[in-house]
Amino acid sequence: MIGGYGNANILNDCTISVDQGEIAVVVGPNGAGKSTAMKAIFGMLNLKQGQIVINNEDVTKLEPQERVLKGMGFVPQSNNVFTTMTVEENLEMGGYIRRDELADTIAQIYDLFPVLKEKYHQEAGELSGGQRQQVAVGRALMTNPQVLLLDEPTAGVSPIVMDELFDKIIEIAETGVAILMVEQNARQALNIADKGFVMVQGENKYIDSGKALLENEEVRKAFLGG
């Protein structure tokens, strides 16, 4: 992928991929283009070169909504829930483009996030940060996506909640969903990652399994603080 805003390229020839049931994590310093890469994958940024492929189908030219239909789910970093709507309504809106019955999927999501079932009638804006992230992930899961894109899901939540969220993400991956996430908390994220991408100035500097990256001397020194 090569792309950016205006003439300046933020993404310089970077390649990101993830397989079914895998967790891929993109880490890197601030301004490396992690979130931009995410936006490009979801179609909120036009690429100058390169392509986005899902299930061997080229979706480079499609609008974000059409990509949802092709099996992508996206959880933005901020403003990712409808704050004045109840938890259940948030999930319903997540499945808005589906024409069939949503009850089964909602039940599955409540199984995954039991706390949401308890609070189904509360407005999402009244929930804690961690619960809100669960609503946001649940909303994106309503379309039964094959790839789930998460843009810094643990931004601004406490370490305990972060571990809990990562556990949930592993659970989601185990159901066969491919997960691609951008993370600030690099160490913890690489711990659960099957595959890690270290991005620097819009380029993949290192691609390896999460473990290998954690053991890699250079990566540790430069990005993980030793």
Q: Which residues bind other proteins (CB under 8 A)?
A: 64-65, 68-69, 74, 76, 79-85, 89, 92-94, 96-97, 139
Nearer to other proteins, 46 or 84 (CB): 84
For the CB of residue 74, give the shortest distance to other proteins in the complex, in Å.
Answer: 6
For the CB of residue 75, give the shortest distance to other proteins in the complex, in Å.
Answer: 9
Rounded-to-integer distance, Cα 55 and Cα 53, Å: 7
Give the torsion through C-alpha atoms of 85, 170, 95, 146, to 10 deg.
Answer: 150
Nearer to other proteins, 80 or 133 (CB): 80
Partner residues linked to 217 by β-bridges = none
Nearer to other proteins, 70 or 220 (CB): 70
Phi/psi at 169 (5° precision): -65, -40
Nearer to other proteins, 101 or 217 (CB): 101
For the CB of residue 97, give the shortest distance to other proteins in the complex, in Å.
Answer: 3
């996506």: which residue's tokens? 145
CA distances from 140 to 65, 171, 193 (A): 12, 15, 20
For the CB of residue 60, give the shortest distance to other proteins in the complex, in Å.
Answer: 18
Is residue 113 within 8 A of residue 143, CB to CB? The reply is no
Cα angle at 212 between 217 and 196, to 5 degrees?
Answer: 105
For the CB of residue 92, give the shortest distance to other proteins in the complex, in Å.
Answer: 6
Nearer to other proteins, 92 or 194 (CB): 92
Phi/psi at 189 (5° precision): -70, -40
């990101």: which residue's tokens? 16
